[in-house]
Amino acid sequence: MVSRRFTTAVQLSAEIMQQRTYEDAVKKLNSLQTNAQVLEQIRKTRGRLAQNNLPEMRSFTERAGVKMEDLDKLSIIHISGTKGKGSSCAFCESILRHEGLKTGFYSFIVLQEEGKNSMPAYFRFLTLLSFHVFLKEKVDVVVLEVGIGGAYDSTNIVRNPVACGVTSLGMDHVTTLGGTIESIAWQKAGIFKPGVPAFTVPQPETALEVVADRAKEIRAPLFVIPPLDDYPGSLPDLGLEGDHQLLNASLALQLCQTWISRRYKKADNCEVENGTSIKRASTEEKSSDEPFSKKAKVEVPVAQIFEISNTFRSGLKNTRWCGRNQVIVRPAVTFYLDGAHTPRSMEACARWFKKRADEEKVKERGTVARVLLFNLTGGRDAHGLLKPVMKCDFDHAIFCPNNISLNLKSSDSDLTNFTVSRDNQLRWCVENQRVWMALRGAGFQPHADPTGNCTEITNGDHVIKNGLDDGPYSTIFPCVSQAIRWLLGGRDSLIEEFCREDLPVPDFIKKASRVQVLVGGSLHLVGTVMKVLGPEIVGDV
């Protein structure tokens, strides 16, 4: 079935070239999205069929006219992980671009979390398309982010990467990767290749043991990265906010230094082993995140620190990664965007938001209101994601699907998920609101049954409540444009194109001199908010 769908994708590509419009191309691409019933069947058999993924992907690649020998010509940095792999990739791309190199960057971020698992034909097609573009453009280096897992991910058909990296590991995509940190670590370390230097951030003890065992099995030299403040000189400025970015930046430094060293067969002022600058050190490393604070005792060398060059510093400082720890300031509203969608990443998001929002609040003379704009798709732990933000002192929470408006237009198709019906999207908003209310101590059970009839919440075109009386503390909207219109309270006309009707504005919005809005829970939601705000507001990211 997957094979048949991919054949369709290849045939459609010719039509796309004839149409030559962005909207038509996206429409054809969206036809590859798999419906919810098929996805459920795939999830049930994923463990048994996972080993078929790479042979099938190689076959698709050959049929599309891209030979494995062609892929071998690409100079690749391959990165897996649960949290921070996108940011680490962004740091790498920026560093190497500032070195004057022609870079290619592949990151599958828009719908990755939407269906609980990658959509087979959709993701494979995009991966194959990226390889085609990189080869045609003759890029100097490719920064390649894993989609889900690593060992059986579509990107893992590459045979000769220059360096591999693993970011912080945690519990995510458990239906695909397994329900333990060990099984997830096994999958993530599956991108290692014989003789290719591999780097990992400090990990939980059991996870690091698995990563080290995989490296030994594959015969890949493995190194734990040092803290960023261990490098000589001043701490470099980072273009991405959040304390958790310090680890991602150090990983990027090691990967880029290794790429340059191996590519040009040299290293400045440092020992080289297997093309990699290292030092031998004690391996009792602190974990990369608070929930995993044990000491790891496996024998893994620590990568050697080095003097950070000015071009490397410029690359770190000028890194941009839209929708991750991003702040957009308007006359009366400040949007804090973070696509965090796992419990650990939401904890980091909450720390970042609390710090930045408190700093902004001190500068305000009037009243400051705080609102959470949140969505989480089915199958994820709403309780685990909402609990970390309870300490952020929100006055209100908004729950809405990842839809721009009530009436879908062709220009919105690049942010549309066709695998879930509107009713189901709203049901999950109801579930998320119930969890929020439970965490607030409203006396409701933290896990509601989302399968009930939701006719009452699909008919409204304005502010929509789900029937659970939470007073002034939470609201459900049917689309993002209405939610933002409500938040702006008529004080900003930036979304007139999307939503022209007047919505009732609560007093706490009217009286606030500034409204601080944290957008999180879904990368797709963040992308939709950015689309509503528009490029002039979001800026060049």
193 and 92, same domain (yes or no): yes
What is Dmax (Cα atoms) for the chain? 69
400 and 481 assigned to the same domain: yes
Domain of residue 250, CATH code: 3.40.1190.10
Please give the Cα distance from 319 to 325 (Å, whole number).
Answer: 12
Residue carrying structure tokens 């933002």: 484
Q: Cα separation of 36 and 42, whole Å? A: 10
Percent of the chain scoring above 70 in pLDDT:
70
Query: Which residue would you say has higher pLDDT here, 457 or 83?
Result: 83
Which tokens go with 449?
């049954």
* 485 annotated binding-site participant: no
Give the whole-angstrom CA distance, residue 516 versus residue 11: 47
Q: What is the pLDDT of residues 366-390, one digit of tens each?
A: 999 999 999 987 667 899 999 999 9
Tally the domains of the chain.
2
The predicted structure's pLDDT at residue 495 = 59
Which conformational region is residue 116 in: left (phi greater than 0), alpha (psi within -120 to 50 degrees), or beta? left
- The predicted pLDDT at position 338 comes to 92
Instruction: Give the pLDDT of residue 444.
Output: 45
Selection from 175, 177, 179, 197 nearest residue 187 by Cα: 177
Same domain, 311 and 365: no
Query: How does residue 114 score in pLDDT terms, banded at 50, 70 and 90?
Result: very low
Arithmetic mean of pLDDT, 99-106: 96
Give yes or no: residues 43 and 164 share one domain. Answer: yes
Domain final residue, candidates 318, 352, 384: 318
Are residues 35 and 127 both part of a single domain? yes
Alpha helices in 171-320 (DSSP H): 174-177, 181-188, 205-218, 245-264, 310-317
Q: Which amino acid is at 343?
A: P
Residue 229 gets which letter from DSSP?
Answer: G
pLDDT tops 50 at residue 392: yes
Higher pLDDT, 380 or 507: 507
pLDDT of res. 419: 56
pLDDT, mean of residues 226-237: 96
What pLDDT band is residue 404 in, cutting at 50, 70 and 90? Answer: confident
Q: At what angle do helices 53-63 and 2-19 cross, to 10 degrees?
A: 40
Q: What is the pLDDT of residue 489?
A: 78
| pLDDT at 534 > cutoff 80 | yes
Q: What is the pLDDT of residue 133?
A: 94
Distances (CA, A) of 117 to 52, 55, 271, 449: 16, 19, 42, 22
| 286 within domain boundaries | no
Given a cut of 70, whether residue 271 has pLDDT beyond it is: no
CA pair distance 475, 33, nearest whole angstrom: 30
Query: What domain range includes position 379?
Result: 326-446+465-533
Locate all alpha helices (DSSP H) within 285-363, ordered by sequence.
Answer: 310-317, 343-363
pLDDT level of residue 457 (50, 70, 90 thresholds): very low
Residue 193 lies in a domain: yes
More confident residue, 351 or 108: 351
pLDDT at 467 over 90: no
Determine whether the annotation assigns residue 491 to a binding site.
no
Asked whether residue 362 is assigned to any structural domain, the reply reads yes
202 near 286, Cβ under 8 Å?
yes
Half-sphere exposure of 209 (CA within 13 A, CB side): 10
Domain boundary among 318, 350, 379: 318
- Claim to verify: residue 239 and residue 309 sit in the same structural domain: yes
Q: Of 149, 15, 164, whose CA–CA distance to 89 is shortest?
A: 164
Spatial CB neighbours of 141, under 8 Å, sequence gap ≥ 6: 75, 76, 77, 96, 101, 102, 103, 104, 162, 259, 263
Residue 1 lies in a domain: no
pLDDT of 241 over the 90 cut = no
Q: What DSSP character marks residue 379? A: T
DSSP assignment of 94-149 equals HHHHHTT--EEEE---SSTTTTSS--HHHHHHHHHHHHHHHHHHT-SEEEEE-SSS
Residue 283's pLDDT band, with cuts at 50, 70 and 90, is very low
73 shares a domain with 135: yes
The amino acid sitting at 356 is R
Average pLDDT of the chain, as a whole number: 78
Q: pLDDT at position 225, please?
A: 97
Q: Are residues 302 and 337 in the same domain?
A: no
pLDDT at 539 over 80: no
Residue 111 is assigned to a structural domain of this protein: yes
Within-domain flag for 185:
yes
Q: Percent of the chain having pLDDT more than 90?
A: 47
* Per-residue confidence band for 33, with pLDDT thresholds at 50, 70 and 90: low
CATH number at residue 478: 3.90.190.20
The pLDDT value given to residue 25? 72
Q: Is 172 annotated in some ligand binding site?
A: no
173: alpha, beta or left, given left = phi > 0 and alpha = psi -120 to 50? left
Phi, psi torsion values for 508, nearest 5 degrees: -65, -25
> 58-87, pLDDT tens digit by residue?
988 888 888 999 999 999 999 999 888 999
* Residue 274 within a domain: no
Residues 199 and 99 grouped into a single domain: yes
Q: Identify whether residues 54 and 88 lie together within a single domain.
A: yes
Amino acid code (one letter) for 386:
L
Residue 110's alpha-carbon distances to 113, 161, 477, in angstroms, are 8, 25, 21
4, part of any domain: no
Q: Are residues 159 and 83 in the same domain?
A: yes
Q: What is the pLDDT of residue 415?
A: 55
**Is the pLDDT assigned to residue 181 strictly greater than 50?**
yes
On whether both 86 and 133 belong to a single domain, the answer is yes
Which tens digit of pLDDT belongs to each residue from 121-153? 777 888 999 999 999 999 999 999 998 888 999
338 annotated ligand binder: yes
Written as one letter, the residue type at 367 is: T
